[in-house]
Amino acid sequence: MKIGSTLSVMIALTGAVSLSGCSETRPLTSIRESAHYYDRVGEYDKALPEYRAFLANKPEDTELRYEYASALLKNGQFPEARDQFLLLTDIMPSDERFADGYARSLFETGNNAEVTAYLNRMTVQRGSVGDWLRMGDYCQKTGDVDGAKAAYRKAAKVDGGRSVKPWLAMADMFAGLNDKANERAMIERTLYIEPMSPALSERYKKLGGMPGPTAGVKPEEWVAPKGK
């Protein structure tokens, strides 16, 4: 979808808000601040109309639309959130926040097949570390532990084994399964990447390990950065 046509859809999905009344007499900065306040205190019935009033005047503001979509999610309005996140991913598909929000809103609507189709499409089209981590997360949510392991391993491979995120994701997964041996093995890999991390050392210690310079285990996926 072209950005011009996307903006037209944005206006329609934001909802018809009269330009007379509050949006005419109140500055947009005031409307935005009001939306943020009500959102922050959890009064979404008051925050959402403010977001809509702002977007009726400035539909191209993707940051405000992201906040609006997130408020819809928090308020349990999942189909509406899905529509907003879909617009955002259409305009800025590389923004991980938008992809996360769209995947979550699809999942919350109960359409697992649509979630899977979207995540598969992203791993094929982009195949970024974030795409594979997201795939792993949703495999976990649907009880597919083997699929989650494979996705997290793929994330590690794409990243050359140099990021702690895939290993932490797997460590958390094994912790949820009460598999302390594999949890510890994943933390050992994070310690190879970030040997001086107090949080990782403390977690390793709680798993029965002895933090120190030899605690880390080099990941099989490790590819040294260029020039090193």
pLDDT digits (tens, 9 = 90+) for 106-125: 999 998 899 999 999 999 99
What Rg value do the Cα atoms of the chain yield, rounded?
22
Is the pLDDT higher at 7 or at 32?
A: 32
Residue 215 is given by DSSP the state -
Do residues 109 and 79 make contact, with C-beta atoms less than 8 angstroms apart? Answer: yes
Which of 55, 84, 113 corresponds to the end of one domain?
A: 84
CA 123 to chain centroid, in Å, comes to 15
State residue 6's pLDDT score. Answer: 56
Residue 2 covered by a domain: no
Whether the predicted model's global pTM rises above the 0.85 cut: no
Query: Domain range holding 137?
Result: 128-228
Residue 47 covered by a domain: yes
CATH assignment of the domain containing 31: 1.25.40
